[in-house]
Structure 1
Amino acid sequence: MLRTIAAIGLVLSCVTSASGMGMESFGNDCLSALNYRDWPGAIPVINSKHRVYHQWVNGNESFYYQGSTADLNDALADFARIKADRLAVVIHPGPGETHSFNQERQVEFDWQLHLLGGIAKHMATLPLGSNVWDPNPYLHIYLGDGVELDALRIPAGVDVLELADLQTRYAKALESTDQSVRGWTCGRIASLDPYRRESMQAIARMLNDSDDWVRLNAAGALATFTTFSDEAIHELEAVETNDEKLQERIDKSIQQLRDSQHEPDKQQAFQQQLDAIHAYVEALTDR
């Protein structure tokens, strides 16, 4: 089933409306190869029978899959055949979860293919934009019941990254001279690790940005860091503004943080997976 809707606030940090069109589909109906000529060899990955969901917003495109580690290894082999300047795999703590545009349907997945094209690809041309919006194909793996880290087979020629690699690149993007890069990056950083104090602090500093839209995105992204709710609330309450939308976003984030409950078991499990991923990536590097 394919649905086309107006795309409003589809990125985590999208606390303001983003005009454009979005499309989503559930299941694994074949998608036309004509739409993916910029990525020769990508169709076997895209049209895998394991695809459960597909989302497109102005060329920012993600494909979500569920399967076993063996299925993922097959996908990795196909991914390695895509012709691009660079291919990267990012291993995340899991499980992987996303949702439909209307928030009514939750989608669980084990790996995700991300392609950047169309209007969204313009972000890569902005100052430091490619730190976050890399135009090369990425395969994101989420650990969980379906994926066994030690059984992964990473093909030669594919870069393997952990969250720390993305965090370093994204943090640099906050220094961009372009406000859209700084603003959207706040949400991208928050989405990587909701338990990382350094990320919360980096986003909190953006509350002092010269652009109110960037501050708006920073205020929205801070609601993610429920583990540090007191510290985040303190940063939000310190903001002085005459902008009504910004103040509304600040008030909403403060309320979300006050209503949140810290879940130490989830945080511990997340950290254990981070440690395992780091050891795995280090071992690959030492080979």
Structure 2
Amino acid sequence: MMYRRAVVSTGGGKGRINTEHLLFFAVFLGLCFITVSAWPMGEETFGNKPLGDGNYTDWPGIMPLINDEHRVYSNWCNGNEYFYYLGDTETLNQFLALFAALESPAHEVTFRPGPGRAQSFHNDRPIPIDWQMHLVGGIVAQMIDFEGTADVWDMHPTLTVYLTEKGRIQLDKVTLPEKVTVLQMADLRDKYRKALQSDHPRMHADTVTKLAAEDNLNIENIPLIAGVLKDNDVYARICAVVSLGRFGALAKSALPELQEASRSEDHQVSACAKESIKKITNAPDLTDDIERFRKIEAHIDGLLKQARSGESARLEQKTSAETR
């Protein structure tokens, strides 16, 4: 199924983007998608039918990555775009080589616990994936610039690789080009926690949304997000109450704060808080999922430390040989 691209109306003023568009975009970033047929702001593609290069001139060399034969799904919403792929270690290595050749100021790849799944607009089918590529442009890039929230966004093409205990991707066999910067969940957490120390309410809004979308099996995020419920900014509080709901049973410690938010004079804050309370109260136990996530995260950390140690030794040997 394909949807024609359209842009959100600003109504002739920036204020309208700040409220209506930002609220929708928080939903897009991991909460849920508004029905596209009723609000045509995006498009999605299933399979690997080649996409035209007219929309991607900002990223020279990106088309071989976008149109890689292992792409299984992609979606776009006003410039925020994701491409999803299914493959093994060999195909990922080929993809990484192309990614490193891309004209970009940075080449960041995050290795994280899986399994990876993409979500279609209507969430009407499961889409298993092994890695994804994220691009930001269009209205979303303008919005980020206007709001000053670039510190928590991918302002250049980035990759995320999902790893499982018996998955198709074997990290110890992945070949990392020199240009690639490797990140882990710990790096993302550091970035987001630093952003929450900012006095910028829009930074808070974007950060809690990302924490809920990318790290919702980490109980340490709950008090950080709950703290945003004290913000004076209504939009930030809406993002916080909705984000807490995405943690399910893990967010039970935040129920008192959500109960208070449910009595807010702001209708949106109140309604979203009540919905999150229902989700948390009725959510299944996550103990097994959390244990599995932590086990894989520790495995990733160990392998990457070994890889860095080996690379350091190789560079020392090279330097020593060159100075003789």
The alignment's TM-score, normalised by the length of structure 1, stands at 0.92
Counterpart among 4, 29, 41 of residue 11 in structure 1: 29
Give the distance between the partners of 2:161 and 2:29, measured in 1 at CA: 19
The more displaced of 2-11 and 226-235 is 2-11
CA displacement at 1:195 relative to structure 2: 2.2
Aligned partner of 1:224 in structure 2 is 246
Instruction: Please give the residue correspondences for 1:167-246 in structure 2 after superposition, counting only pairs within 5 Å.
Output: 167-239=189-261, 240-246=263-269
CA displacement at 1:133 relative to structure 2: 1.3
Counterpart among 265, 269, 288 of residue 265 in structure 1: 288
CA displacement at 1:178 relative to structure 2: 4.4
The more displaced of 118-127 and 238-247 is 118-127
Give the distance between the partners of 1:14 and 1:130, measured in 2 at CA: 22
Counterpart among 275, 283, 296 of residue 252 in structure 1: 275
**Amino acid paired to 2:92:** L
Aligned partner of 2:119 in structure 1 is 99
| Unaligned runs of at least 5 residues, structure 2 | 9-23, 312-324
Give the distance between the partners of 2:219 and 2:35, measured in 1 at CA: 28
CA displacement at 1:187 relative to structure 2: 1.3
- Three-state SS of the structure 1 residue aligned to 2:43 is strand
Matched, 1:67 2:84: no
The more displaced of 183-192 and 215-224 is 183-192
Give the distance between the partners of 2:260 and 2:251, measured in 1 at CA: 14
CA displacement at 1:95 relative to structure 2: 0.8
Aligned residues of 1:14 and 1:187 also touching (Cα < 8 A): no
Aligned residues of 1:114 and 1:139 also touching (Cα < 8 A): yes
Matched, 1:44 2:68: no
**Amino acid paired to 1:248:** A
CA displacement at 1:148 relative to structure 2: 1.2
Aligned partner of 2:304 in structure 1 is 281
- Three-state SS of the structure 2 residue aligned to 1:103 is coil
Counterpart among 118, 130, 136 of residue 110 in structure 1: 130
Q: 1:207 to 1:269 in 2, by over 3 A?
A: same
Percent identity of paired positions between Structure 1 and Structure 2: 34
CA displacement at 1:16 relative to structure 2: 9.2
Aligned residues of 1:62 and 1:113 also touching (Cα < 8 A): yes
- Three-state SS of the structure 2 residue aligned to 1:4 is coil
Give the distance between the partners of 1:176 and 1:15, measured in 2 at CA: 28
- Three-state SS of the structure 2 residue aligned to 1:230 is helix
The more displaced of 235-244 and 212-221 is 235-244
Give the distance between the partners of 1:125 and 1:119, measured in 2 at CA: 10
Aligned partner of 1:119 in structure 2 is 139
CA displacement at 1:44 relative to structure 2: 1.0
**Amino acid paired to 1:23:** E
Give the distance between the partners of 2:129 and 2:192, measured in 1 at CA: 24
**Amino acid paired to 1:244:** H
Q: 1:228 to 1:266 in 2, by over 3 A?
A: closer
CA displacement at 1:20 relative to structure 2: 7.0
Give the distance between the partners of 1:273 and 1:72, measured in 2 at CA: 19
Aligned partner of 1:79 in structure 2 is 99
Equivalenced residue count is: 287
Q: 1:27 to 1:189 in 2, by over 3 A?
A: same
Give the distance between the partners of 1:173 and 1:258, measured in 2 at CA: 29
Give the distance between the partners of 1:178 and 1:106, measured in 2 at CA: 36
**Amino acid paired to 1:12:** G
The more displaced of 123-132 and 270-279 is 123-132
Give the distance between the partners of 2:52 and 2:277, measured in 1 at CA: 45
Aligned partner of 2:178 in structure 1 is 156
Q: Deviations over 1:239-271 (max 9, x none)?
A: 352112211111111111110111322211110
Aligned partner of 2:20 in structure 1 is none
Q: 1:27 to 1:14 in 2, by over 3 A?
A: closer
Q: 1:15 to 1:207 in 2, by over 3 A?
A: farther
Give the distance between the partners of 1:199 and 1:284, measured in 2 at CA: 29
Give the distance between the partners of 2:298 and 2:44, measured in 1 at CA: 34
| Unaligned runs of at least 5 residues, structure 1 | none
Q: Deviations over 1:150-182 (max 9, x none)?
A: 111111111000011111112222344544332
